[in-house]
Chains A and B, each alone.
Chain A
Amino acid sequence: MSAAEQHIPGVFTGMMAVARRDLLLAWKRPGDVLNPLFFFAMVATLFPLSVGPSIEQLELSGPGVLWVAALLAMLLSLNSLFLTDHEDGSLEQMLVSPLPLSALALGKTIAHWLTSGLPLVLVSPLLAMTFRMPVAVTGVLMLTLLLGTVSLSLLGSIGAALTVGLQRSTALLSLLILPLAMPVLIFGARTVSLAAAGEGVAGGLYFLAAYAVLTLSLAPFAAAAALRISNE
């Protein structure tokens, strides 16, 4: 059997194995999932406390505040995406595995989204209620968060991979990710605002979907390249 034809484990199996392992780890350490969630809730609470309880004010600022809080919560959880793997040597084992690194990075990103992105989407209606958001608008908020957090997880995987071996990487990670995350924030918050004003939301949702698909197609490769470089 020549080297080129040699069979190696299934890409999909490997990707799912990584995702399953990370989900199992999250299950054994629920704090890692819950902390960003509490952070999300608390940041969203800070605004009514600081801006004042005027209902008009809350309705107006709700979409933006919830989106900023979600973005910050995602950033908070990203730092550890590859860090523990780097520290205990399992990242090195992935680097010498016969599976494409991009698939493994995607597997980890999927687990990250399931443990930090999806919970945000699920608790957002509760917070939306405190901002007096109508049910229909809350639906749009959840939809934008659903599409937006996918992009944020994927973009974050690039940033986390670039900063994995570095000292004091938290601030740097934010600096690298935020410019790329800004379109998500702009369109996410704006779409919810438009929904609140009773206007069409299709354009914004299409854009968020486009960004999610684009990052899904490119980010795993960029993250894999970054991981190899960071681990030299």
Chain B
Amino acid sequence: MTPRRQRMLAVGLAASGIIIATALTLEALKDNMMFFISVTDVVAGEYPADRNFRIGGLVVDGSMQRETGSMDILFRVTDLRCEMSVTYSGVLPDLFREGQGVVAHGRMDRSGMFIADRIMAKHDENYMAPEVAASLAENVNEQTADLVQGGPECDS
């Protein structure tokens, strides 16, 4: 084989390698290595028992209850299909709002209550002045797209 043909072969092999790697990456991205588990999955019982995990969703409007004189709070999280209850004791991040995205780390107790030991607020990519935000119709903003999954309606 001449050096010239060797070089062509090498370039060809490398190029096809890159194409294969790209295809494999695309395949890898299809299978979402979830940062959190969706509410629907948790309600359907698809969560690791006896282990900490993360759930992600939106805080349901008007669901937040705070016990006076303590740090304990109780709220419900939805992915617009199912809802579940979460309790947490501690300081909440500034971005924690009703209707906004939240990621909670903790585990399920036997009664189906999620005991969070850490709450993280997921911020969206929208920046607005308060009056603009108020004038916008109540809507699900785009940040929630990745917190909300497609799938069958929840019966609970």
Contact = CB atoms under 8 A, between A and B. Distances in A.
Contact of B21 (A60, A100, A197, A217): A217
Interface stretch (A3-11, A40-48, A65-73, A155-163): A3-11
Contact of A214 (B21, B27, B30): B21
A4 B28 contact: no
A89 interface: no
Which range contains the number of B residues in contact with the other chain? 20 to 34
Interface residues of A, number: 32
B28 A102 contact: no
A198 interface: yes
Interface string A12-27: 0000000000000000
A86 interface: no
Contacts of B137: none
B6 interface: yes
A182 interface: no
Given A102-B10, A217-B13, A217-B14, A7 B28 contact: no
A209 interface: yes
Interface of B: 1-4, 6-7, 9-10, 13-18, 20-25, 27-33, 48, 51, 53
Given A197-B48, A207-B28, A213-B24, A190 B6 contact: no
A218 to B, nearest CB: 6
12 contacts: A5-B2, A7-B1, A100-B7, A198-B48, A200-B31, A206-B25, A207-B25, A210-B24, A210-B27, A214-B18, A218-B18, A221-B10
Contact of B17 (A10, A98, A100, A214): A214
A217 B17 contact: yes
Contacts of B27: 202, 206, 210
Nearest to A60: B51
A92 B17 CA distance: 29
A204 interface: yes
Interface residues of B, dominant DSSP: helix
Nearest to A201: B31
A113 to B, nearest CB: 16
Contacts of B51: 60, 197
Contacts of A218: 14, 17-18
A12 to B, nearest CB: 9
Contacts of B29: 203
Nearest to A186: B33
Interface in A124-178: none
A213 B1 contact: no
Contacts of A197: 48, 51, 53
A203 B2 contact: no
A82 interface: no
Given A10-B1, A221-B14, A204 B28 contact: yes
Nearest to B2: A5
Contacts of B13: 217
A206 B2 CA distance: 36
Given A7-B1, A210-B24, A216 B33 contact: no
Contacts of A202: 27-28, 31
Sort A-B residue pairs by CB-CB distance and give the 10 closest, nearest first.
Answer: A217-B17, A203-B31, A210-B24, A206-B28, A214-B21, A207-B28, A217-B14, A213-B21, A210-B25, A210-B21
